[in-house]
Structure 1
Amino acid sequence: MIAILASIYLQRLALPGTSVGLGAAVPYLGLVVLGIARKIKLPPREFILGLLLFTALGISTILSSLTLPANSASLALVVLMWAPFVFIADSRKTDATYLLRAFQYGMFPVAVLTILQFVLQSGFPQWLDPVSLLPKSWLVPGYQAAYEFQYGSGVLKANGVFFLESSFASQYLAIAALATLSARRWMSPLFILALVVTGGGTGIIMLLIGLAVYVARGSSRTKVVAVGSIVIGVLVMSWLGLAAQILGRAGEINGENTSGSQRFVAPFDVVGAAFEMVPNSFFWGLGPGSANPFGASIGVTANFSLIPKLMIEYGVTPALFFIVLLIVIIMRIRLDVALKLPICVMILFLSGALIQAHTSVLLWALYLGLGSGHAYSHSAMPECRAVDGNESPKFIDASVSAGRLNIWQSDLQISNRHRKVATKARIK
C-alpha cells in the first residue's frame, strides 16, 4: 500500500542530489523490511530472466563503448529501477481487493484535485503550481506539469498537482476508473471526469482497451456498464467543450512535431536511423543514454517509450529479454486481464517506463503484493455478488476455493464424529 501511494504522491520529488524520482527508494526499503521479517524469496523464472537481462545489458554496454562513450549512470539507473523484480514476497495473505481499494482511495483526492485545478486554471490563467514553490533541487527535472490542450487554445491540461505530467495523471485515472467497474462504481464518474480534464490521450487509450476487454469477456450487465462509462466520458467532454480538442488529437499521429507523433512514430524513426547509420547497433545498441542525443543529432524530437529506447541504447537481444521479463511479471500478477492489459500497454508503449521511478514502483507494488501466495483475483464479472454493500467482491481462485471446501468438509466430519461420541456418552 505504501508503495502504491508513493507512486502517486512522490512522482515529482527527487532523491537528494539526483534527478531520480524519490519513489525509486521505496522497493529497496520494502525489500529490507521483508528481509528482516524473512518473508522474501527468489522466484526462479524471474531471477533467471533478470540475470540474463542484466548480463545482456552489461555486454551490450561494453561492446558499444568500444566505439562510443558509455553513460554508465544511465545503465545504473535501469538496474536500480528493475533489480527489485527478481525478488518476491513469501506471503499468502495479500488480497487483490485490498490493493485495488488502496489505489482507488489513493487516487480519489487526486481526482478531486485534478477537477479543481482545471476549474481554477480556466478562471485564472496565471495558475500557480504549489509544488513548483519547492526548491528545484527537490524536484525531478525535464517534465512540464501544465500545458495547453492544443497550441494557442488557452485551455491548460490538469496534472492533478502531484503528477509529473497530465499524461501520467490520465494513465493512473484510467486504471482507477477500470477498477471501479467491479467495485465502488460510485467513483467511476469522478475518475472519468478527472481523466477528461487531463486531456491525456494515453489515459483514454488505456481506458478504451480495458473497456473493450470487459465488453468482450463480460455478461450483458458488464457490457451495459462498460458502454455507460464511454457515454459518460463523451457527455463530460461535450459538457466541458473539450470534445473537439480531445478527439482531434486522434490525428496527431500523422502530424509533425505533435505529441502523438513524438510518442508513437518518431521513436521508431530514430530506431531505423540508428540501425541504418550504425549497423552494429542492431546487436548491441549505441550505448546507455544515447537515445535522446542521437535523435537530436538527426533532427528528430521523440518521446521514447520502453521498447525503442531499449533497442537504440542496448540492441535487439536485451530488448527481447526485457519484454519477456516484463510479460512474465505482469502475467504473475493476479489481476483480471482487463486491468493487466492496459498496464502492460502503459509500460511498453505509453511512457518512458525504462527509467521512470513511479511506473516501475506501481508495477512492483502490484507484483510484490499479488505475484505470490494464494491472493484473491480481481474479476471483471460484476454479476458475482459483493460483500458488505460497496465493498469489493470476494473473488477467489478455483484452487483456493477447492482447498477451503476440503477444509469445511473435514471440519464437518470432525463435528459429526464429536456429536456421535457425545450422544453415546449420554446414552451410557
Structure 2
Amino acid sequence: MTRPTDSHFFLIGVSVLLFQRLGLTIGEGSVPVMVLALVVLAFGFFVSGEMAVQPMRLALILVVVVIGAIGLLLHPVNTSPASLSLAVAAWLPAVLMPAGARPVGIRRQVKNPMNVDSLQNLDLDARAFITAIFWTMFCASCAAIIQFVSSYAFGILIDPMAALPSWMALPGFNSTYPVVWGGSWYRANGVIFLEASFMSLFAVFGLVLCWSGTLSLSTKRKIIVTTVFLVALLGSVATSGLVLVPLLIAALSRTPLGRRVMAAVVLTAIAGASSFPPILSFVSKALQNPLDTSGQVSVASRIYRPYLDVLDLIQNSPWLGIGPGSSRAYVESLDVGVTTPTLMKVTVEYGVLGLLAFSLLWFSLIQASRLSYLLKLALLVALLVPTDGLTNSLLVPLFTWMLLLTARPQSSAHVPATLSIGRKLKGSY
C-alpha cells in the first residue's frame, strides 16, 4: 500500500470541512460522509502499520458500546440505535495511535504552555492537515461575509449547497431546515458548515490557531485573517464561538502585535455596537436576563436550565443513563429550539460511567498530542459548547484526527527536504 503524502493530507483536511454538509440517508437517519471517510482512512492506516490499536482506548470505546446497548434495551422509548452508531463511528479512529508517537509530558507542557511544538516541528502529515483546515476555515469565513452582506442588504441568502437533494444532505441549517426567522438578518454558515453555530465556533478557533504561535504567518496575513474571522463571527449571529474567547485573549497576549490587535478589536467592537443596530440588538439579547431559566431566553436554556433538570431526568438510572438519543425528547420540550450541552447530553444518555469513559478517551488523545497546550484547551472547550460535543459526529472526527496526526514528532523517515505542495520546509504555509 502506497503511503499518503502531505499533499493527500492537505486534500483530506480541505475535504473534511468542505463536505461537512454531505450525508447518506440510511433508514430514517443520515450518516455524515466525513465520518465514513475518516473511518476508512483509519482502517487504511491500521492495515498499513502506520497506526496501531491502543488497548486502553479500545476498552473505553467498548464500555461506551455496552452502556449504550444496555440503555437501548432498558429504555426503548425515545432512544435511538442510530445515535449510538454515529457516536461510536465518530470515535472509532480514536482507538489508534500513530507508530513512533511519544506522548508529551504534562510537566513539559506546564513549563511552556503556549507552544510546546510549533507546526514546523510536527510530522509533515499533521502540518499539511492543520494548514488545510485553517485556510479552509478562512475561505468559509469569506463565504460567510458574502452571505451576510447579501442577506442583510438585499434579502437574498446565497447558499448553493442548500440545493443538494435531501438524500445526500445532512439535516441542518439552510438545507433541510429553512431559515424562518430574522427577516433579512440571516445567520451566516459560511456555506460549508452545517449551521451558523459551527461557523461561529470555527471562526474563533481559527483566530486561536492564528495567534497561538503554531502557524508561521506574516504580520499582514495575520491582520487580514483576523479581520475576516471577526466579521464572519458577527455575521453568524451565533454565540458558540464565544466560549473560546478567553483562550483567544491568552493567544493575543503572547506578543506586542497581538495586544495591539486586541485593543483595536475592543475599540472597534464598542464603536460598531453603538452605531450598527443589528450588532447592538444581538449584544443586548445575549445579555438580557441571563439567569432566566423559564425557557424564554436562549442563553439560559443552553447554559443553566439543562443542568437544573438533569437530576430529574436520570434519577432512576444515574450510572448508565437512559439510552442514546433520549436527550432529544428533553430538548423538544423546551420553549426554544436548542441542542443539549455535551456534559448534560452524555450524562443523560450514557450515565456517569459513560461520561467518565468519554472523558478518559478524550484526555488520552490530548495527552498524546504535541499540539500547543493552548490549542489542546481550545479543542477541549470546543467540545463543551452546546453542539452535542462529545457525541457530535462532525466535531469529534475532525478534532480526533488533529490530535492523532500531531501525536508523532517530525520523522526523518518520510519527511522530504521540501513539501510536495510547493513550500520549502523552512518556510511557512
TM-score (norm 1): 0.76
Q: Tell me which residue corresponds to 1:201.
A: 239
Deviations 1:132-186 (A, max 9, x none): 22212221115456758xx656422211112111110111111112222234314
Q: Tell me which residue corresponds to 2:30.
A: 19
- Where do 1:44-83 residues align within 5 Å? 44-62=55-73, 64-65=74-75, 71-83=80-92
Deviations 1:316-341 (A, max 9, x none): 11112212222332333222233222
Question: For 2:357, what is the secondary structure of its paired residue?
Answer: helix
Query: Share of identical aligned residues, percent?
Result: 23
- After TM superposition, the structure 1 stretch with the greater mean CA deviation from structure 2, 97-106 or 53-62, is 53-62
- How far apart are 1:281 and its partner, in Å? 2.0
Is the aligned partner of 1:309 residue 2:320?
no
The answer to whether the Cα contact below 8 Å between 1:96 and 1:335 also exists between their aligned partners in 2 is no
Is the aligned partner of 1:266 residue 2:302?
no
Match of 1:8 among 4, 13, 17: 17
Compared with structure 1, are the counterparts of its residues 69 and 212 closer, same or farther at alpha carbon in structure 2 (3 Å cutoff)?
closer
Q: What is the CA–CA distance in structure 2 between the aligned matches of 1:316 and 1:120, rounded to whole Å?
A: 46
Q: What is the CA–CA distance in structure 1 between the aligned matches of 2:255 and 2:182, rounded to whole Å?
A: 45
Q: What is the CA–CA distance in structure 1 between the aligned matches of 2:371 and 2:386, rounded to whole Å?
A: 20
- How far apart are 1:203 and its partner, in Å? 1.3
Amino acid of the structure 2 residue aligned with 1:115? I
Q: Tell me which residue corresponds to 1:111.
A: 141
Compared with structure 1, are the counterparts of its residues 226 and 170 closer, same or farther at alpha carbon in structure 2 (3 Å cutoff)?
same
Deviations 1:50-73 (A, max 9, x none): 3444344344444x34x8575322
RMSD: 3.2
- Where do 1:57-206 residues align within 5 Å? 57-62=68-73, 64-65=74-75, 71-90=80-99, 93-94=123-124, 97-127=127-157, 129-144=159-174, 147=179, 154-181=184-211, 182=213, 183-184=216-217, 185=222, 186-206=224-244
The answer to whether the Cα contact below 8 Å between 2:21 and 2:192 also exists between their aligned partners in 1 is yes
Match of 1:210 among 247, 258, 261: 247
Compared with structure 1, are the counterparts of its residues 300 and 122 closer, same or farther at alpha carbon in structure 2 (3 Å cutoff)?
closer
- How far apart are 1:345 and its partner, in Å? 1.3
- After TM superposition, the structure 1 stretch with the greater mean CA deviation from structure 2, 97-106 or 117-126, is 97-106
Q: What is the CA–CA distance in structure 2 between the aligned matches of 1:147 and 1:266, rounded to whole Å?
A: 26
Aligned residues: 373
- Where do 1:215-230 residues align within 5 Å? 218=254, 220=256, 222-230=258-266
Q: What is the CA–CA distance in structure 1 between the aligned matches of 2:403 and 2:358, rounded to whole Å?
A: 16
Compared with structure 1, are the counterparts of its residues 261 and 33 closer, same or farther at alpha carbon in structure 2 (3 Å cutoff)?
same
Q: What is the CA–CA distance in structure 2 between the aligned matches of 1:30 and 1:388, rounded to whole Å?
A: 25
TM-score (norm 2): 0.76
Match of 1:351 among 365, 387, 395: 387
Q: Tell me which residue corresponds to 1:243.
A: 279
Deviations 1:296-334 (A, max 9, x none): 468785421221111111211111221222233233322
- After TM superposition, the structure 1 stretch with the greater mean CA deviation from structure 2, 158-167 or 67-76, is 67-76
Amino acid of the structure 2 residue aligned with 1:259? S
Q: Which has the higher helix share?
A: 1
Compared with structure 1, are the counterparts of its residues 284 and 68 closer, same or farther at alpha carbon in structure 2 (3 Å cutoff)?
farther
The answer to whether the Cα contact below 8 Å between 2:173 and 2:179 also exists between their aligned partners in 1 is no
Q: What is the CA–CA distance in structure 1 between the aligned matches of 2:275 and 2:240, rounded to whole Å?
A: 21
Compared with structure 1, are the counterparts of its residues 246 and 194 closer, same or farther at alpha carbon in structure 2 (3 Å cutoff)?
same
Q: What is the CA–CA distance in structure 1 between the aligned matches of 2:95 and 2:395, rounded to whole Å?
A: 17
Amino acid of the structure 1 residue aligned with 2:185? V
Q: What is the CA–CA distance in structure 1 between the aligned matches of 2:389 and 2:84, rounded to whole Å?
A: 14
The answer to whether the Cα contact below 8 Å between 1:305 and 1:350 also exists between their aligned partners in 2 is yes
Q: Tell me which residue corresponds to 2:46.
A: 35
Q: What is the CA–CA distance in structure 2 between the aligned matches of 1:367 and 1:286, rounded to whole Å?
A: 31
Q: What is the CA–CA distance in structure 1 between the aligned matches of 2:98 and 2:271, rounded to whole Å?
A: 43
Q: Tell me which residue corresponds to 2:316.
A: 280
Is the aligned partner of 1:365 residue 2:401?
yes
Deviations 1:402-424 (A, max 9, x none): xxxxxxxxxxxxxxxxxxxxxxx
Amino acid of the structure 2 residue aligned with 1:193? V
- Where do 1:290-329 residues align within 5 Å? 290-296=326-332, 302-329=338-365
Q: What is the CA–CA distance in structure 2 between the aligned matches of 1:270 and 1:36, rounded to whole Å?
A: 46
Amino acid of the structure 2 residue aligned with 1:213? A
Compared with structure 1, are the counterparts of its residues 97 and 110 closer, same or farther at alpha carbon in structure 2 (3 Å cutoff)?
same
Compared with structure 1, are the counterparts of its residues 73 and 301 closer, same or farther at alpha carbon in structure 2 (3 Å cutoff)?
same
Q: What is the CA–CA distance in structure 2 between the aligned matches of 1:61 and 1:272, rounded to whole Å?
A: 20
Question: For 1:121, what is the secondary structure of its paired residue?
Answer: helix
Q: What is the CA–CA distance in structure 2 between the aligned matches of 1:39 and 1:234, rounded to whole Å?
A: 51
Match of 2:428 among 391, 413, 418: 391
Question: For 2:171, what is the secondary structure of its paired residue?
Answer: coil
Q: What is the CA–CA distance in structure 1 between the aligned matches of 2:70 and 2:323, rounded to whole Å?
A: 10
Q: Tell me which residue corresponds to 2:415.
A: none
Q: What is the CA–CA distance in structure 1 between the aligned matches of 2:204 and 2:336, rounded to whole Å?
A: 30
Q: What is the CA–CA distance in structure 2 between the aligned matches of 1:165 and 1:69, rounded to whole Å?
A: 25
- How far apart are 1:287 and its partner, in Å? 1.6
Deviations 1:108-146 (A, max 9, x none): 221211111111111222435322222122211154567
Q: What is the CA–CA distance in structure 2 between the aligned matches of 1:194 and 1:231, rounded to whole Å?
A: 18
- How far apart are 1:245 and its partner, in Å? 2.5
